[in-house]
């Protein structure tokens, strides 16, 4: 007999839980696709998207997943034979590099130290060596969803500047946009790539590029532009058909409108803060569970642990069995270990997007129950540790009347 009936909890690092408001906004009949409300809607989301990336640059919506947005970014800014430097810190920057290679771009990979984030000093040293400026772009992810590392995007920009290198700085924020601080303009990012289905709380199917003036200048020279991905025809205001190189992704645009409204209502800083607190709660639980022969953080540097996803090595604990118990007995889906390094040896907790303490604590409590059911080694209660983090936040944020009542 299983306990799983009830509302299923999806705690993978994307797609994330979609708010009912977004789902309801998407459920509608198709409008006139050439003019009127749909054109206004497209204009409004394209006008509001730059705010989420903190840029005055231009936003483009691709009818695709994150992989499509990678290709859109590369093909609009680079030419066959160009060289890019990929800053590896897990799986996804390397995946992006692989897409570049398939487009005829020369790819060089600079590895991060094992289980740590990209080293800005190593980036600076490599770029200093490139005195001819053969490297046309630097590609990095802000959060690698496989390793759950967070890379310091501002520090890497300082490293590029210290080397005096003119390469385009291209950042994949698919697993971090709308979750952790990101300042495209202030940090000198030229191209940002995002997806709908994580922090932005919209089902998969649309993904984004943001481009600043430097990227748009590179675009004018880019030899890899294709009819479908080309940014230029997508820039005309009101031309809704051209903006999407065909029929618009209508339900997704309504969903995105609602999600952007929700983000504006809560405020990006509050969203970042909520993610930071819930991530601290998750990490407190993982630290309490950690034990010889049991679970441990993949990322050894506490400063480099992401606020949107946490990957745990399971060592002597069977990761697949743990996930199966959570899924089949309790209705909780956890993320698998991705790629050769993690498959069967790790699992991931997604803590991104539409998430609050009951959802996060429910996930942690269910994992803890499954660990106990498996007689897995644990040093202490992760739920108790996570609750203390939430309690601290509640006490700090309590409105005065509630604080008094508790005295």
Ligand X SMILES: Cc1ncc(COP(=O)(O)O)c(C=O)c1O
What DSSP line would sit under 175-190, residue for residue?
TTTTTS---TTTTT-S
Q: For ligand X, which is the closer residue by CB, 175 or 240?
A: 175
Nearest approach, Cβ of residue 368 and ligand X (Å):
26
Site for ligand X in 240-269 (CB under 6 A): none
Distances (CA, A) of 86 to 95, 285, 338, 376: 10, 33, 19, 38
Task: List all residues 6 or more positions away from 385 whose beta carbon is below 8 Å from its beta carbon.
Answer: 284, 285, 287, 288
Strands (E), 28-152: 58-62, 83-88, 106-111, 135-141, 143-144, 149-150
Interface region with ligand X, contact rule CB under 6 A, candidates 59-67, 99-107, 274-282, 387-395 = 59-67
Of residues 8-37, those binding ligand X (CB under 6 A): 14
* Cβ pair 271, 178 in contact under 8 A: yes
Which of 70, 108, 111, 67 lies closest to 89, judged by CA? 111
Q: How far is the CB of 93 from ligand X (least distance, A)?
A: 8
Q: How many angstroms separate the CA atoms of 49 and 293, rounded?
A: 45
Torsions phi, psi for 135 (to 5 deg): -75, 120
Q: Cβ 175 to ligand X, closest distance in Å? A: 4
Nearer to ligand X, 175 or 260 (CB): 175
CB of 209 to ligand X, least distance (A): 13
**Is the CB of 62 or the CB of 382 nearer to ligand X?**
62
Q: What is the DSSP letter of 104?
A: T
What does the per-residue mask of binding to ligand X show for 195-214, with x meaning CB under 6 A?
A: x--------x----------
61-66-68 Cα angle (round to 5): 70
Min dist. Cβ of residue 66 to ligand X (A): 2
Q: Does 175 bind ligand X (CB under 6 A)?
A: yes
Q: Which of 71, 88, 124, 172 binds ligand X (CB under 6 A)?
A: 172
Applying CB under 6 A, the span of 60-68, 117-125, 128-136, 363-371 interacting with ligand X comes to 60-68
174 binds ligand X, rule: CB under 6 A: yes
Distance of alpha carbon 11 from alpha carbon 107, whole angstroms = 34
CB of 238 to ligand X, least distance (A): 29
Q: Which stretch binds ligand X (CB under 6 A): 31-39, 98-106, 125-133, 168-176?
A: 168-176
67 touches ligand X by CB under 6 A? yes
Gap between the Cα atoms of 316 and 283, Å rounded:
20
Closest distance to ligand X from the beta carbon of 316 (Å):
28
Contacts of 341 by beta carbon, 8 Å cutoff, 6+ apart? 91, 146, 147
* Token reading at 297: 């953080």
Residue 62 binding ligand X, by CB under 6 A: no
Backbone φ and ψ for 329, nearest 5 degrees, come out as -90, -25
Distance CA(148)–CA(140), nearest Å, equals 14
Q: Which stretch binds ligand X (CB under 6 A): 34-42, 45-53, 62-70, 111-119?
A: 62-70
Kindly tell me which of 124 and 144 has the beta carbon lying closer to ligand X. Answer: 144
State in angstroms the smallest separation of the CB of 358 from ligand X: 25
Backbone angles phi, psi at 296, to 5 degrees: -155, 155
The residue sitting closest to ligand X, measured at its beta carbon, is 66
> Least Å distance between CB 221 and ligand X?
26
Nearest Cα neighbor of 137 from 184, 189, 102, 175 is: 189
> Residue written as tokens 């936040």?
393
Q: Does 141 bind ligand X (CB under 6 A)?
A: yes
* Token couple for 78: 């680079």
Query: Judged by CB under 6 A, which stretch of 63-71, 341-349, 359-367, 398-406 contacts ligand X?
Result: 63-71
Q: How far is the CB of 140 from ligand X (least distance, A)?
A: 10
**Contacting ligand X (CB under 6 A), which of 65, 79, 315, 341?**
65
66 touching ligand X, by CB under 6 A: yes
Residue ranges binding ligand X (CB under 6 A):
14, 65-67, 92, 141, 145, 172, 174-175, 195, 204
């Amino acid at each position: 007999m299983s306990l799983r009936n009830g509302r299923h909890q999806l705690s993978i690092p994307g797609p994330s839980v979609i708010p009912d408001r977004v789902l309801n906004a998407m459920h509608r009949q198709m409008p006139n696709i050439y003019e009127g409300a749909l054109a206004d809607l497209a204009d409004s989301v394209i006008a509001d998207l730059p705010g989420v990336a903190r840029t005055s640059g231009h936003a483009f919506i691709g009818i695709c997943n994150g992989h499509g947005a990678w290709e859109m970014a590369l093909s609009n800014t680079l030419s066959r034979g160009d060289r890019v430097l990929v800053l590896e810190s897990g799986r996804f920057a390397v995946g992006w590099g692989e897409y570049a290679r398939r487009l005829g771009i020369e790819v060089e990979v600079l590895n991060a130290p094992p289980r740590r984030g990209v080293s800005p000093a190593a980036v600076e040293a490599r770029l200093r060596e490139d005195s001819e400026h053969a490297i046309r772009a630097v590609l990095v992810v802000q959060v690698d969803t496989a390793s759950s590392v967070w890379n310091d995007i501002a520090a890497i920009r300082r490293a590029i500047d210290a080397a005096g290198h003119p390469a385009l700085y291209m950042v994949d924020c698919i697993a971090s946009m709308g979750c952790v601080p990101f300042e495209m303009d202030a940090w000198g990012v030229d191209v940002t790539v995002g997806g709908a289905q994580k922090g932005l709380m919209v089902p998969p199917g649309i993904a984004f590029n943001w481009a600043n003036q430097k990227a748009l200048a590179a675009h004018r020279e880019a030899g890899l532009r294709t009819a479908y991905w080309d940014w230029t025809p997508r820039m005309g205001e009101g031309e809704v058909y051209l903006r999407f190189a065909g029929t618009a992704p209508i339900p997704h645009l309504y969903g995105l409108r609602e999600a952007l409204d929700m983000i504006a209502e809560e405020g990006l800083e509050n969203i970042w803060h909520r993610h930071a607190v819930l991530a601290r709660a998750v990490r407190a639980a993982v630290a309490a569970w950690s034990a010889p022969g049991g679970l441990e953080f993949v990322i050894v540097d506490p400063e480099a642990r992401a606020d949107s996803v946490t990957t745990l090595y399971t060592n002597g604990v069977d990761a697949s069995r743990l996930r199966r118990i959570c899924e089949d007995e309790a209705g909780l889906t956890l993320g698998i270990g991705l790629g050769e390094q993690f498959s069967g040896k790790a699992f991931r907790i997604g803590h991104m997007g539409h998430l609050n303490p009951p959802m996060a604590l429910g996930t942690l409590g269910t994992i803890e129950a499954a660990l106990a059911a498996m007689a897995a080694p644990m040093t202490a209660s992760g739920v108790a540790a996570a609750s203390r983090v939430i309690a601290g936040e509640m006490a700090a944020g309590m409105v005065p009347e509630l604080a008094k009542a508790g005295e």
